[in-house]
Structure formats: C-alpha cells, structure tokens
Structure 1
Amino acid sequence: MANYLRIYSKLNYNVNTTMSPLNVTLDMINATPKPFSVFDGCEDLVEAVLFDLIVQCVNVFLGIPANLLVLVILIRNRKEPSTSDIFLGCLAVMDAYFGIMVPISFLNLYYWQSVEGWRAIKFTYGVKDTSGPLFLSCICLDRFMAVLCPITFGRLKDRKYRIGLSILVLILTFSYAAAKTIGGIPNFEKIFTSEILAAFAWMMICNVAILWALKRSTGVGKDEMHPMKKKAFKMVLSILIIIIANYLPPVALFPFEDHYDPHVFTCYVQPVGFAFVNISSSTQPLIYLSRLEKVPFLPESCVRKLFCKDKNEASPA
C-alpha cells in the first residue's frame, strides 16, 4: 500500500490512497516492493522537500509554544478583549493544531504508514491552507471597519457578529479540508490558488487603505499619532508583514503552474510555496507577541532581547 501513496513531498497536493483494481497489472503484482523514501519521485530535486521539512520542525519547536502563549494571553485578557481577539484565538488554535500534527506526520511516514494516518495529515494540510488566509482576512476586515467606517463598526461591535463570522470560516475551512482529504476532485488545487489570490488581494487593499488613512489622520503639523491609532497602525503593519512574507511566494508562483514542467512544479515549486505558508504558524504568533509590552512567563529582559526592543519602548498590546 505504501507504494501507491504519495509521500510527504506531495502530501500537501494530491494523494492517491487507493488504486483501482483495473489499473493493477501483472508486472505491478510481481514487482519487488520499492523501498520507502520521503523523496519518492523527487530524488533529483530534494532541496525543496528538505526546506519544507525544516520548516515543519521549526513549527514544532517554535510555533507550538508561541501559539499556546498567544492563547494564554488572550484568555487572560478576556475581560478587556480586542474586537479581533476571537479571530486571533481561532488562528492560534489552527496553527497549534498544525504544529502538533507534524510529529504524527513523521511517525506515519517512517513507522505506521497507514492510510488513516495519511488522511488525517491531509486533512491537517487542508485546515492550514484555508484557516490562515481566511482568519487574517477577518482581522483585516475588522481593522478596516474600525478605521475607515467607525460608525458602522460601532453598530457591529457585538461579539455575536464575530462569532458568526468565525463559525462561517471554520465551516469553509473544514469543508475544504474534507474535500482535500477525500480527493478525486478535478483541478482541486486551483481552489487553493484562487483562494490565496483573493485573500491576498483583499488583505493588501485593506491594509494599504488603513495605513494610508492612519497616516493622514495625524494632521498637519502633528508629529505624534493618537495612541489608539498608533496601536491599530502597528497591528495592521504586522499583518502586512505576514501577508508579504508568507503569502506572496505562492501568489507569485502558483498561478503560473501551466508554465512549469509538471515534475519541477510538484517537486520544487509547490514545496517551496507551501513552506512559506506553513512557516506562518510560527511567524504569526511571534509577530503578535513582539507587539506586547509584557509577555507572560518571560522576563522583561528576555523579551527585549528576543524582539529587539528598546528599554524605554512601550509597545501596545
């Protein structure tokens, strides 16, 4: 069975967990089982697969604790929550879940090699593909309304609207992940490409509009921005950094799939593109933590060194 499974380097794209009996030939039955390899089919282009594997390890050792720390902070601040905290919390849960599944992925690669394990990992990739862009889009929408449409934002400040939007995003996320797990949908990878393009365009428009509006709001002759606007400015700027660093590579590469050799695209372009998306499970919580004045369980001196903060700098939470 392991011979007919796509291995790790292709796990995030198309997995064929079953083979029709009509396609089984006598040569295949009599063939000597091929030794299992993480780079099966990509032995001549292992660099991109190795890069993705390293990223997965970073998410385990850095992303999981960072996301758990974000959740602790959000829970501790639940009495005075920000309007976008529910989106940040959902994003942290999804990223922590993605990181936790990495050791299970490795165990299934080298030890279990079970179909159920492959499907669980495939589902995890589907969750990661969709949850990050959609929840970041929700955060951008929340900030966009707060800065550019404050009156409407005040009317829609009730938590129920954000809970409803989060539920909708989770339904879309799990539906996409389930479809990715089942497989067999023609041109299914185009769905992710379309999603990432739409989310990237929306987030860029929102963030550029917000930054432009906040910059203009300082007024003529004013050097200092209002503290609340400064807080929003830093938050939006951090989201913009995440968008460009983690989502620009797949946006720039995936739409041109037809221009690549299929083997090169599968073994080189896709692993690199998805690696940038996957590392967001670490960069997103770290950028959030870098904006905080105090981080629980970490000494202030450690926080200053870790995030290169000046001693007198007061970063808003």
Structure 2
Amino acid sequence: MAPNMSSAPVNATSAPNVVFNVFEGCEHQVEGILFDLTLQVFNVIIGIPANILVICVLIQNRKEPSTSDVFLGSLAFMDAYFGIVPPISFLNFYHWHNKEVWSSIKFAYGVKDTSGPLFLSCICLDRFMAVVFPVLFGQLKPVKYRVILTVIVFLLTFAYSAAKTVGGLPNFEKVFTGEILATFTWMTMCNVCILRALKKSRGAGKDDMHPMKKRAFKIVLSILCIIICNYLPPVALFPFEDHYTPDVFRCYVQPVGFAFLNISSTIQPLVYLSRLDKVPFLPDNCVKRFFPCCERKSNEAPKKEGNPA
C-alpha cells in the first residue's frame, strides 16, 4: 500500500517482480488511502518548491542567521527529500518492481517518521530556552551546540530508518508510537510555556504587549496550532491500535493518521515563508497572491527578513 511503506504488502521485499497494487488488501475500503494520496500530491506540487525556497532563504540570510536556522534548514532538506518519494513509489509499484528501490522508499518513510518530529522538537527547545531561560540561552548561543544536536538527530533518524528498511523487528511500530507521543507532548508543553511567558512579560500596569513580543506570541500560537493539526491525529489514533480490527486500522486509521503527519512537509515551509517580511526569489505578483500577509507587513513597516521566533 503506497501511503505508508510500513503497511505495504509483506511479500514486496522478497518478490520484486510482483505487480503491486496500491490498495493491496483494502480494495473495498479505499477512502483512507485516497485521502493520504491526495495530500501527498500537495507535497510534490507545493511542498518540494516551498522547501527548496526555504533553503534558499536560509542560505541568503547565512550572514545574519537565527539560532534555529540549522534545524530549519535540516527540516526543509528532509521534507524536500520526502517530497520526491511519491512519484518514485508509484513508478516502482506500476513499472519498475525493483527490490532496491522498494527498500529506499521504506528508508525515506522512516526518515519522515523521525526527522520531522525530532527537528521540530529541537526548534521548540531553542525557542523555549530563548524566552523562558534567556541567560542560559545566551551561554548556549554558539552554533556548535545546534550542530551537535543536529548530528544526534540525523543519527537517530538513520538508525530508525535502517531498522524500518530491514523490517521484521518485533513490535517495531511501537517505537514510532512512543516517539510521536513524546515529541507531541514536548512540543505542546514548550509552546504553551512560551505563550505563558510572553503573556506575563507585559510591563506592570500595561494592557498592551510590546509589538515584537506580540508578533512572537502570534508566531508561536500559529506553530502550536500546526503541531496540533499535524500530530494530534496520529497521537490520538495510533496508541489504540488494539481496539480496531486489523482491516480498519490498516485501511483507514493508519493512512489517515500518516496523511496528517505527511502533509506537514508542505505546511511547515509555507508557514515559515508567510512570516517573512518579503519572500525573495519570487515576483511581487506571486507574493501578493500567495503570501498576502507578507505584502501587508512590508507595506506597514519595511523590515529586514527575519526567521521564526
């Protein structure tokens, strides 16, 4: 089954000449799979160019980077890499039937399962330290600490992806369930703490928040909403696998849960680009049409392009 390679036909790796069916085992329950496939089309059409644009913006701003740029760039690279998987997956299902390509696709889905939640957790940690513990954050500001953390995330990602590719490990799916529960809890807690700290940072006797902190408050609030939208469905559904029939879980619950997780490869770069005062490399008419908030901000007060709080 194409939406997530962990649910694909078990004989695929042992019989590379089999003609795969994208709805294998779910021929009469295709709605969940179609939903996931539809969202993956957005990752190809919109997600890939959006993530490439994010990488270009980060490279352009490399002389004045924010502390989260290492995590943002790594996340955009991984999301762009994941965006090329659906076309390759369909070609292998219906044309190539190649065992090695099949293994590389499983590896790519393992990358998506792990890299997205972990890099988002790193970004949330960076913001949490900056707002809640600014003194300690100043001591840990050198980029070397973020590079070390990035290397650790890559090692964890590749270890998980390799294990997913090999397959056959008992209760391996529980690893992903535990990871998604832990990272969702961490990201939610971090963003709630940031919002509370920003709310309390108003001056004594003042009703209005400082404009910069107000902007940061809106950014973090939007990020929290995205985290809930992308990660709450799998968090709410996957731990209760034993309560579903195998067919219902495989054909409905799993593809729908992964669909919300996978579409984050498109939503995350679009949210980042929408926060910029000006989107580079794009004609002004495109910016006005697709990023009207950027145009409003640049008209109100021309500022230097910034990164998320």
- TM-score (normalizing by structure 2): 0.91
Distance 1:146 1:169 in 2: 21
Name which of 8, 14, 28 aligns with 2:2. 8
Q: Are 2:215 and 1:221 equivalent residues in the alignment?
A: no
The change in CA–CA distance for 1:216 and 1:267 in structure 2 (over 3 A counts) is same
Distance 1:237 1:313 in 2: 22
Q: Which residue of 2 aligns with 1:116?
A: 100
**Cα offset for 1:299?**
3.2
Distance 1:247 1:120 in 2: 25
The answer to whether the 8 A contact 2:132-2:197 is kept is yes
Q: Structure 2: give runs of 5+ residues left out of the alignment.
A: none
Aligned-residue CA RMSD (Å): 2.0
Q: How does 1:135-154 map to 2 (within 5 A)?
A: 135-154=119-138
Q: How does 1:1-317 map to 2 (within 5 A)?
A: 7-9=1-3, 11-13=5-7, 16=10, 17-18=12-13, 36-219=20-203, 220-227=205-212, 229-309=213-293, 311=296, 312-313=299-300, 317=306
Q: Which residue of 2 aligns with 1:29?
A: none
The change in CA–CA distance for 1:132 and 1:313 in structure 2 (over 3 A counts) is farther
The change in CA–CA distance for 1:85 and 1:234 in structure 2 (over 3 A counts) is farther
- TM-score (normalizing by structure 1): 0.89
The answer to whether the 8 A contact 2:29-2:251 is kept is yes
Distance 1:34 1:155 in 2: 57
3-state SS of the aligned residue for 2:51? helix
**Cα offset for 1:18?**
4.8
Distance 1:66 1:36 in 2: 31
Q: Quick check: 112-121 or 161-170, which moved more?
A: 112-121
Distance 2:288 2:13 in 1: 52
The change in CA–CA distance for 1:71 and 1:10 in structure 2 (over 3 A counts) is closer
3-state SS of the aligned residue for 2:28? coil
Q: Quick check: 96-105 or 216-225, which moved more?
A: 216-225
Q: Which residue of 2 aligns with 1:28?
A: none
**Cα offset for 1:236?**
1.9
The change in CA–CA distance for 1:38 and 1:81 in structure 2 (over 3 A counts) is same
The answer to whether the 8 A contact 1:140-1:236 is kept is no
Structure 1 residue ranges (4+ consecutive) displaced by more than 6 angstroms after TM superposition = none
Distance 1:70 1:277 in 2: 20
**Cα offset for 1:115?**
1.1
Q: Structure 1: give runs of 5+ residues left out of the alignment.
A: 1-6, 21-32
1:149-200 deviation line (CA, Å, top 9, x unaligned): 0000000000000000000000001100000000011111111110000000
Distance 2:191 2:105 in 1: 33
**Cα offset for 1:218?**
1.8
Distance 1:50 1:198 in 2: 29
